[in-house]
Amino acid sequence: MIKHIKPVIVVHGGAWRIPDEEIQAHLNGIRVALQEGWKILKNGGKGLDAVERSVSVLEDDPTFDAGKGSILNTDGSVEMDASIMDGSNMKAGAVAALRNYPNPVQIARCVMDKTEHILLSGPGCESFAMKHGFHPSPIRELMTERELHRLESVMLDEDFRAEHAFGQKRGTVGVVVLDEQGHIAAATSTGGTPKKIPGRVGDTPIIGAGTYAEDGVGGVSCTGWGEAIMKVMLAKDVAERMRQDVDAQTSAEQSIVILKERVNGLGGLICIDKKGQIGVAYNTPRMARGTMTCEQDDFWVAVE
Ligand code: ASP
């Protein structure tokens, strides 16, 4: 007999000092991403399709640091990282330092589905995308005035360190779901951190650092200072707590303490445990996020 589980989706739009005047745009973006993912889940669709769809919606929204609206490198280029993981079979796909494609998460999915690899980077990844029918966009279509201005100001600031610059940051995006079949999936996408050197890759495309999903354990998507997140393998740290039957919220909070204590990292994460309970924790001033479940039959979104 097939057991139908109540689906759950949780979405984030980055952990940083979101200014008051940008709160509404963040809440709207999260809401649309939730609704798009939920349409798939409520019709019994695959969690993997839901995370890909919701992350794509957020990549298209210039409010967030992913796809269109990505933070610029020191040479003014856009290089994006993304990953996706299917908890039902532990398959994963990821792209790093990808230029000229508006939806990196879709290419990450294609890497997962069509290759024996997990992570493709740079020019090889771009020709892979082209070969699989993705259409490149000129960089000006991914670039916003806002990010051009930010680049000018951070380049003038010799002491600028992304590590401490969460007032200057933008929101990486991520989604975790539990679907009706009981499968867990997670995906994360980012334009990276301000003043990054071309070729820099953060935690987002690293399975176990920025993203993790495993049926019977849980799913996680992280955001924040990638250099710190990678050192503690934050997504896997949360998953290992959930594996020990610690609930999602407690696991999220414990791992954020580890991020701060061990490597002085700033960031946040969302997760779902095997029971479909959600967890959210962050140590930045704000984090954009929201969730939707059958019980509520609607959703909540928040930044505080
Ligand atoms: N974790 C991302 C990176 O380091 C940035 C972010 O989540 O804000 O590239």
Is the pLDDT score of 285 beyond 60? yes
The 218-224 sheet, strands edge to edge: 211-214, 218-224, 267-273, 278-282
Is the pLDDT score of 287 beyond 50? yes
Closest CA to 97 of 78, 115, 112, 116: 78
Is the pLDDT score of 1 beyond 70? no
Confidence of residue 153 (pLDDT cuts 50, 70, 90): confident
**Is the minimum distance from the CB of 193 to ligand 1 under 6 angstroms?**
yes
pLDDT single digits (tens) 42-87:
999 999 999 999 999 999 999 999 999 899 998 888 999 999 999 9
Mutate to test the pocket of ligand 1, among 190, 263, 266 (most ligand atoms within 8 A of CB): 190
Residue 173: strand, helix, or coil: strand
Asked if residues 54 and 33 have their Cβ atoms less than 8 Å apart, the reply is: yes
> What pTM, to 2 d.p., does this model score?
0.94
How many angstroms is it from 172 CA to the middle of ligand 1? 6
104-128: average pLDDT: 97
Domain made up of 8-303: CATH architecture: 4-Layer Sandwich (3.60)
- 106-144 as b/e: b if 16+ CB within 10 A: bbbbbbbeeeeebbbbbeebbebbeeeebeebeeeebbb
- What's the mean pLDDT when you consider all of the chain? 92
Residue 129: strand, helix, or coil: helix
- What integer pLDDT is reported at residue 152 of this predicted model? 76
204-227: average pLDDT: 97
| C-alpha triplet 274, 227, 240: angle, nearest 5° | 20
Q: Is the dihedral of CA 11, 16, 17, 22 positive or negative?
A: negative
Instruction: Please compute, for residue 228, the number of CA atoms within 13 A of its CA located in the half-sphere on the CB side.
Output: 22
More confident residue, 134 or 194: 134
Confidence of residue 168 (pLDDT cuts 50, 70, 90): low
The 184-190 sheet, strands edge to edge: 119-121, 91-98, 80-86, 184-190, 173-178, 8-16, 286-293, 299-302
Q: Is 293 a catalytic residue?
A: no
How many angstroms is it from 181 CA to the middle of ligand 1? 31
How far is residue 296's CA from residue 291's CA, in Å, rounded to a whole number?
A: 10
How far is residue 121's CA from residue 96's CA, in Å, rounded to a whole number?
A: 4
pLDDT single digits (tens) 251-280:
999 999 999 999 999 999 999 999 999 999
**Is the minimum distance from the CB of 192 to ligand 1 under 6 angstroms?**
yes
Question: What are the residue ranges spanned by the domains of the chain?
Answer: 8-303
Looking at the CA of residue 191, tell me the nearest atom of ligand 1: 9
Residues, the chain, total?
Answer: 304
Percent pLDDT > 70 in the chain is 93
How many angstroms is it from 17 CA to the middle of ligand 1? 14
